[in-house]
Amino acid sequence: MNLENAINYSDSIISLVVPLFVIIMVFVTRRVALSLLLGITLGGVLSFYHEPLNIALYVYKNISSVFYSFNDSGDFSISYSSVYVFGFLILLGILTQIILYSGAINSFVNWAHKRVSSPKGSEFIAFIAGIVIFVDDYFNALTVGQISKSLNDANKSSRERLAYIIDSTSAPICILMPISSWGAYIIGVMDKEVPKNLGDGLLLLTNSIWSNYYAWFALLAVFLTIFWQVNLPPMQKNINVDVKDLLDREHFDEKSSSIWLLIIPIFTLMLSISSILFWTGYKASNEPTLINILANTNTAFSLFYGGLITIIISILVSIKHLKLSYIYIIVKRGFLSMLPAIIILILAWSIGPVIRDDMQTGIYLANVSKEFMTNDLLSLIPAILFLISAFIAFATGTSWGTFAIMIPIGVGIISASNGDVVLGISAILAGAVFGDHSSPISDTTILSATGAGCSVQSHFITQLPYVISVAVVSFISFIIAGMLDNLLFGYIFGICGIVILFYLYKQYLSKPINI
User: What confidence tens digit (pLDDT) does each residue in 189-211 have?
Assistant: 887 777 777 777 778 888 899 99
Q: Rounded to the nearest 5°, which phi and psi values hold at 77?
A: -135, 125
- Is 309 in the same domain as 385? no
Confidence of residue 3 (pLDDT cuts 50, 70, 90): low
The answer to the question of residue 75 being in a domain is no
Last residue of a domain, one of 345, 370, 386: 345
Q: Sort 152 into a burial class: Cβ within 10 Å, 0-12 / 13-18 / 19+.
A: buried
Q: 473 and 417 in one domain?
A: yes
Pair 309, 420 in one domain: no
Q: How many CB atoms lie within 10 A of CB 34?
A: 13
The residue from 345, 379, 407 where one domain ends is 345
Give pLDDT, residue 510.
93
Same domain, 175 and 249: yes
Whether residue 1 is predicted with pLDDT greater than 60 in this model: the reply is no
Is residue 31 in a domain?
no
440 and 366, same structural domain? yes
259 lies in some domain:
yes
Q: Find, among 391, 397, 392, 503, the residue nearest to 460 by Cα.
A: 397
List pLDDT tens digits, range 480-514. 999 998 999 999 999 999 999 999 999 999 998 88
Helix (H) or strand (E) holding 513: none
Q: Looking at residue 5, what is its pLDDT?
A: 52
Q: What is the mean pLDDT of the chain?
A: 85
Residue 227: pLDDT band (50, 70, 90) is very high
Both 388 and 304 in one domain: the answer is no
Is 17 part of a structural domain of the chain? no
Q: What is the arithmetic mean of pLDDT over 155-171? A: 93
Q: What is the number of structural domains in the chain?
A: 2
What residues contact 497, with CB distance under 8 A and at least 6 apart?
A: 473, 476, 477
Q: Whole-model pTM?
A: 0.83
Distance separating alpha carbons of residues 151 and 122, to the nearest angstrom: 6
Whether 100 and 146 map to the same domain: the answer is yes
Residue 50, Cβ density class (10 Å: 0-12 exposed, 13-18 middle, ≥19 buried): exposed
Shared-domain flag, residues 329 and 437: no
473 within domain boundaries: yes
Residue 372: inside a domain: yes
Q: How far apart are CA 247 and CA 157, in angstroms?
A: 15
**Does residue 429 sit in the same domain as residue 296?**
no
Q: Give yes or no for residue 248 having a pLDDT over 50.
A: no
Does the pLDDT of residue 68 top 70, yes or no?
A: yes
In this predicted structure, which of 3-12, 276-285, 361-370 has the lowest mean pLDDT? 3-12
Clarify whether residues 393 and 317 are in a common domain: no
Region 22-36: mean pLDDT is 84
The pLDDT of residue 316 is 92
- Based on the domain organization, do 106 and 255 belong to the same domain? yes
pLDDT band at 2 (very low <50, low <70, confident <90, very high): low
- Give me the residues paired with residue 92 across strands: none
- Which domain range does residue 387 map to? 362-509
- DSSP three-state, residue 50: coil
Helix axis angle for 443-452 and 326-353, nearest 10°, is 160
Chosen domain end from 300, 316, 345: 345
Distance CA 403, CA 194 (A): 12
For residue 29, being part of any structural domain is answered with: no
Tell which residue, 382, 454, 465, 377, has the closest CA to residue 421. 382
Cβ contacts of residue 168 below 8 Å, gap of 6+?
Answer: 130, 218, 219, 221, 222, 437, 463, 466, 467
384-412 per-position pLDDT tens digit: 999 999 998 998 888 888 888 888 888 87
Quick check: is 283 in a domain? yes
Mean pLDDT of 56-70: 87
Q: Are 322 and 396 found together in one domain?
A: no
What is the structure's pLDDT at 249? 44
Map residue 23 onto helix, strand or coil. Answer: helix
**∠ CA 503-385-479, rounded to 5°:** 50
364: confidence class by pLDDT, cuts 50, 70, 90: confident
Q: Residue 428 — pLDDT band, cuts 50, 70, 90?
A: very high
Average pLDDT over residues 422-437: 94
| Mean pLDDT within 427-440 | 93
pLDDT for residue 373 is more than 70: no
Do you know the residue count of the chain?
A: 515
CA distance 64 to 350: 8
DSSP state letter for 7: P
